[in-house]
Amino acid sequence: MSYYFSKRVSGSFESAVARVTEALQKEGFGVLTEIDVHAVMMKKLGVTMKPYKILGACNPQFAHKALEVENKIGTMLPCNVIVQQLSDTDIEVSAVDPISSMQAVGNAALGEIAGDVQSKLKGVIDSL
């Protein structure tokens, strides 16, 4: 089982980030964090890489349910979605598979919640 699912899209990097953010919002997710890995690597290591952003996506209803059944699940939140430039017009968008990551916790009550979140994140990726 893969720990993520992804899709390649065409266009500019920034337009892909905007499309992903909009698709997440349509599924009830907000972007709590945005990490510009490209900028961080340049600043901290002087390393040049292609544009790469990590979006920390959270659906408050599902996060609340998960926290009610597993109070340490916050260590695995929010759900990460990455946008990375592969070429001038080829962008890959990937999202964590919450079922895969939640299996490590060993709490059966998380299964249904993870399934619902997985369905929504797959919907986001598929809509791009």
- What is residue 53's predicted lDDT score, i.e. its pLDDT? 98
Coil, strand or helix at 77:
coil
The pairing of strands 52-58 and 79-85 is antiparallel
Whole-prediction pTM: 0.94
* Whether residue 3 has pLDDT greater than 80: yes
Looking at residue 86, which CATH number applies to its domain? 3.30.310.70
Which CA distances in Å does 78 have to 49, 59, 93? 25, 8, 16
Closest among 23, 21, 40, 16 to 31, alpha carbons compared: 21
Domain span at 64: 4-127
CB neighbour burial string for 67-106, b if at least 16 within 10 angstroms, e if fewer? eeebeebeebbbbbbbbbbeeeeebebbbbbbbebbeebe
- What is residue 40's predicted lDDT score, i.e. its pLDDT? 98
Average pLDDT, integer, range 9-24: 97
Domain count, the chain: 1
Give pLDDT tens digits for 42-56.
Answer: 999 999 999 999 999
- Name the average pLDDT for the chain: 96
Average pLDDT, integer, range 87-109: 93
The better pLDDT of the pair 104, 67 is held by: 67
Confidence tier at 11 by pLDDT (50, 70, 90)? very high
- What is residue 104's predicted lDDT score, i.e. its pLDDT? 86
